[in-house]
Structure 1
Amino acid sequence: MKEETRLIQSISSDPLTGSISTPIYQTSTYVQEAPGVHKGYDYTRTNNPTRKILEDLITKLEYGYGSIAFSSGLASIDAVLKLLKYGDEIVAVDDIYGGTFRLLDLYNRFGVRTKFVDTTNADEVLSFITKETKLIWLETPTNPTLKISDIKSISNQCKNINEKILVVVDNTFASPAIQNPIKLGADIVIHSATKYLAGHSDVLAGLITVNNQNIYEKLKYIQNATGGVLSPIDCWLTIRGAQTLYLRIKKQSRNAFEIASFLEENKKYCIDKIYYPGLINHKNHNIASKQQKYFGGIVSFSLKKDTIDSAKEIVTSTKIFKLAESLGGTKSLICHPATMTHKSTPSETRRAAGIQDSLIRLSLGIENIEDLIEDINQALIY
């Protein structure tokens, strides 16, 4: 069965009524025949039928053992970090999403340390592993410089050092339509389902998929104990949005490649660097070609005049690209990471990871590519 068919057929009709659309079980509690005797549901924080359908869907899409839905992407990241204890260490990608960086900084106060490295270099990742290392934290592609890490190579080599080390992949930028980290050796996959999975900029959602029962039960306990669950209506929105995932990803990836190619052709003017793994001159193009089905809908670029003001002049001049945080929706967005998504990352740390002051991030939607190119063209400073 092909992936598009598998996605749609994974969402079954309602066995009670035959409803082709997933019902929204908007209830907080459930009637029990006797104490502890029920139909698998006793309280919605613990379990909910609509949430279970979403969790089962992402499990199938990511080829995992089980999945757990949270109220936001950061809530799902927080749950994974709760697997750790004082003295544990994380080896993480250096240009990590600003919200994740902020959360890791918070856990540092509780004795969980993070070492930030260039995870495109597997040898560098391995050189930072110690007996305290418990997690390898990958984003691939990264936010916002679109670095690509070799998931299979890093997973295999880390397990050879210590099989108890968990490899975590934030798969938000790719989505299951582009790559499946568990099939490449990862233990845990995280999604801000707010982005490509829900796909319409109308919901906050986080999803975790794991590769075995032991990790699943630990995270399920954390979900129930801390209560950051996804509401039934948001589960339904995510299920509805995910049904067009492959259609959107294909269009967004095509648009991104055309925009990246246009920027490459106009690089002699104001543009300095262009970040898109679909370009042959991207330093990780070969790895991306090996582990991704498409190259994704995000393009970033920096300016020859590397200043925040230069970037602001461009991001406030577009008409179709809307200036906003987030990504992965049907509408094209433009963002300035240094003052928006990564503003909580210290400037020295941010620049060291390659996030320049002038870096601009584009999230391609599903509009006509000619209109998008025209909009970017008129906004550029020649």
Structure 2
Amino acid sequence: MSEAPVRPGSRTGYALSVIAEGDHRFPRPTRPGRLTCMKLLMLGGTEFVGRAITEDALARGWEVTVFHRGNHAPPPGTSALHGDRTAPGGLAALAAGEWDLVVDTWGGAPTAVRDSGRLLRDRVGHYAYISSRSVYAYPAPAGLAEDGLLVGGSPDAGSTAYAEDKRGAELAAVDAFADRALLVRAGLILGPYENVGRLPWWLNRTARGGPVVAPGPRGLPLQYIDVRDLAGWTLDAAAAGLGGAYNLVSPAGHATTGTLLDACAATTGSGADLRWTDPARILEAGVEPWTELPIWVPEGEAYDHMHRGDVSRALAAGLKCRPVEETVADTWAWLRTLGGIAPQRPDRPAPGLSPEREAALLGL
């Protein structure tokens, strides 16, 4: 096998070797390490997870190209390419160019990941796909690791349901990149730029003060990932040449419902009165966990599925999680720059309990 040439002007910081994968030849890191500079292609990169990853890469001094539809401005310092992955010819802007790494946050039809993977696989070193722990068949038992039972999915499927779409996209990434594909199975994601509304709702609610329904028990452990910890780990792992699936949430017990809501009350400085309420009472009142009381899920199979995953593999690969108080404080600081009105994804309903239903639940 002859050695493939290294791209002129490449500034990668570690030695490269060439691996044959069928008819494809590509450079790959031979040892883990943090690169002094890489060329990153960010598919997305203007909102929440994509934006956090883009900003982290820029802070490292990497060259970042953001491919997006043009609906939102990418962070300053990036190069922009425009296209719609769902439209015929929508990937035309990616027909030329080489990158060390692609990060893809796509959550729709797997065919979009399939098509971008096929287009880029000979011109990209590594492909990181931001997937989800939703790919595990429900109900996932407590302590489930990456080898757990998965939902069905196909790289050739149109958009069906979130879990199946994410699994189909994982398969598409692996089909194109084999062991150069890193599958980041994130759980609940919180932090600045959140456009789903979960932590912003709690912050705004505690900021209003007064009695606040706090779903018990206070010490119930939560698993989530700060979006910036997700970004940093993903870029480190991809730069180190890691492949395969990793559950990416905080260790069990990193935070609890109590530490999260205490941090919200303290950060907003409103003197909110957290009224810890028995889960049975909340459910009897018809209040919906997760949607009307964001983040919270009562103990049971749904809780085990969401908040009791095994993250030992990611921890062994360097995952570090910042304190919940930092996540809450930084999200509040960002939210205040927007006048308290967080962006809301059009495909997700705004979460939260109405003041009338909360008052009724508290007997006010």
Q: Is the pair's TM-score, using the shorter chain for normalization, greater than 0.5? A: no
* TM-score, scaled relative to structure 2: 0.31
* TM-score, scaled relative to structure 1: 0.30
Greater share of strand residues, 1 or 2? 2
